[in-house]
Amino acid sequence: MKTDLFLKRLAVLRGHDLLDMLDLPIAQILDASVRMLPTQTKALDMVFRLLSPQGQEYLVIIEWQGYPDAAILWRVVTYIGLVGQAEPHLPIIGVIVYLKASDDRGDALTMVVDDVVQQHWPLRCIRLWELDAHTAVMSGNLALAILSPLMRGADAELVTQAAQRVLAEAPAPQQSDLLNILGTFAAPVMKPTRFLEIVTKEYLMSSELFEYLSQELVLQTRKDVEAEQAAKWQARLAEQEAALRAERDAREAALQETRLRTERETLTSLIAVRFTDVSPTVTGLIQAITDPEALRAIRLGVLEVSDLATVEQQLRAVATAAADLSW
């Protein structure tokens, strides 16, 4: 599930709550927008235009990071630079909000040359999993309560309490959107069906996000079904290939056994004709050899051998070599 849309909506609805996490000097939020970057088709996650208690205007760029990206620090610095070119007179503060520990790529760009730090550019960052879910739900800050499923110690009971706080404290026009956002983030700790039982579908359906969420769930379900079918076909194909290999191996083994038996019988008959008699020792040596090619080579040379002792010597050498290899 992509979370960008939900996080941006949360920032628009509860921007003042989110800004409380940053410990910035804020007297007023002048504007909150999803701004397109100049010269690029990339939209920033959220830009706040703020007014400090002393009347100074400044910008805060918040970038939500919900997937691993080695370039995230460079991206935020680039965003600051591009926005700064458009408004060079304003201070601009970049903030990265990491959703999961696996997304964390640090909070500073450090340029090191020959083991010496030549430039260090720190950025503000918030690591949600380091925050306490219970504290967030009880804080009275609705944005934190909605993000609490991503925090340390999150569980179904805290999700229930967060939903109750939204219903009790959020303005009515915001409730459906906020509940949809909460339900999205709560999925790892509470099944969607259980969340629907707590909130009721009517609250969720009145949100513009519900249709998007439903479409995403339908697409995900379809992908899951297709993936399951593909896995079944792959398993069936693997079974068929294994069966064919087993059949081929069995056929080859049978052919090998037939060829070995034929070579043994032919060599035994040839020795009997050539030397009148076949001793039990020679018969045992022939049976001890399991390589049809080795038996064939001995058979082809029997007519040129003058005595049975030489044939026995050849058989013994091949049988001994085969026994040594088996060890």
Each residue of 254-288: pLDDT tens digit?
Answer: 888 898 889 888 888 888 888 877 788 888 888 88
The rounded distance, in Å, linking the Cα atoms of 99 and 12 is 18
Q: What is the mean pLDDT of residues 302-323?
A: 81
- 229 and 201 belong to one structural domain: no
Q: Domain containing 145: what range?
A: 4-210
- 128 and 263 belong to one structural domain: no
- State residue 205's pLDDT score: 58
- 76 and 150 belong to one structural domain: yes
Owner of token pair 């460079």: 74
The rounded distance, in Å, linking the Cα atoms of 238 and 243 is 8
Residue range 17-37, pLDDT digits in tens: 988 888 899 988 888 877 776
CB atoms within 10 A of CB 207: 20
DSSP string, 26-79: -SEEEEEE-PBPTTSS-B-SEEEEEE-TTS-EEEEEEEEE-S--TTHHHHHHHH
- 309 and 203 belong to one structural domain: no
Orientation of helix 156-169 relative to helix 192-199, angle to 10°:
30
Q: Is residue 155 part of a domain?
A: yes
Alpha helix (H) residue ranges in 142-200: 142-147, 156-169, 172-186, 192-199
Higher pLDDT, 1 or 140: 140
Higher pLDDT, 212 or 60: 60
Q: Is residue 216 part of a domain?
A: no
Q: ∠ at Cα 101 (176, 8), nearest 5°?
A: 30
Q: Which of 182, 210, 238 is the last residue of a domain?
A: 210
Provide the number of structural domains found in the chain. Answer: 2
The rounded distance, in Å, linking the Cα atoms of 62 and 190 is 28
- 202 and 231 belong to one structural domain: no
Model pTM greater than 0.85?
no
Q: Which of 181, 210, 239 is the last residue of a domain?
A: 210
SS3 of residue 175 by DSSP: helix
Q: Is residue 243 part of a domain?
A: yes
Orientation of helix 208-275 relative to helix 4-13, angle to 10°:
160
- 43 and 172 belong to one structural domain: yes
The rounded distance, in Å, linking the Cα atoms of 151 and 99 is 9
Q: Which of 175, 210, 245 is the last residue of a domain?
A: 210
- 250 and 171 belong to one structural domain: no
The rounded distance, in Å, linking the Cα atoms of 308 and 253 is 32
